[in-house]
Structure 1
Amino acid sequence: MFWSKGYDGVTIDDLVEGMGVGRPSLYAVFGDKRAIFLRALKAYAERKGASAAKALLSPQSLRDSVAGFLRYTVESATEEGSARGCLLMCVAPLVNDAEVQRFLQSTVVGGAALLERRFRDGISAGDIPPDFPVAVRAIQVTDFARGLTMRAQIGTPRKTLLKEAEEAADLVLQARRG
Structure 2
Amino acid sequence: MRTLRLWAVSSNKEDLFRKALQRYAEGPGAYVAAALQAPTAREVAMALLAGSARATTLPGLPAGCLGVQGALAAGETGRVARDVLAEWRAHGQALLRDRFRQAVQVGDLPADADPERIARYVMTIANGVAVQAAGGRPCRARA
- TM-score normalized with structure 2 length: 0.78
- Kindly indicate whether residue 114 of structure 2 is the aligned counterpart of residue 124 of structure 1: no
AA aligned to 2:100 is F
Unaligned runs of 5+ in 2: none
Q: How many residue pairs align between the two structures?
A: 139
The CA distance in 2 between the partners of 1:119 and 1:76, in whole Å, is 23
Which residue in 2 is equivalent to 1:97? 78
1:129-160 deviation line (CA, Å, top 9, x unaligned): 11111112211111111001111111222127
Which residue in 1 is equivalent to 2:126? 145
Which residue in 2 is equivalent to 1:76? 55
1:23-44 deviation line (CA, Å, top 9, x unaligned): xx79x73779945861433432
The CA distance in 2 between the partners of 1:73 and 1:90, in whole Å, is 13
Q: 1:138 to 1:104 in 2, by over 3 A?
A: same
1:62-105 deviation line (CA, Å, top 9, x unaligned): 11111001111111001122111112211343223332122112
Shift of residue 120 of structure 1?
1.2
Output the aligned Cα RMSD: 3.1
Question: Which of the numbers 136, 140, 143 marks the counterpart of 1:159?
Answer: 140
- Kindly indicate whether residue 24 of structure 2 is the aligned counterpart of residue 44 of structure 1: yes
Q: 1:51 to 1:88 in 2, by over 3 A?
A: same
Structure number with bigger Rg: 1
- Kindly indicate whether residue 39 of structure 2 is the aligned counterpart of residue 63 of structure 1: no
AA aligned to 1:90 is Q
Q: 1:35 to 1:110 in 2, by over 3 A?
A: closer
CA contact under 8 A between 2:29 and 2:55: conserved in structure 1?
no
AA aligned to 1:109 is A
CA contact under 8 A between 1:77 and 1:152: conserved in structure 2?
yes
Identity of aligned residues (%): 28
AA aligned to 1:72 is G
- TM-score normalized with structure 1 length: 0.64
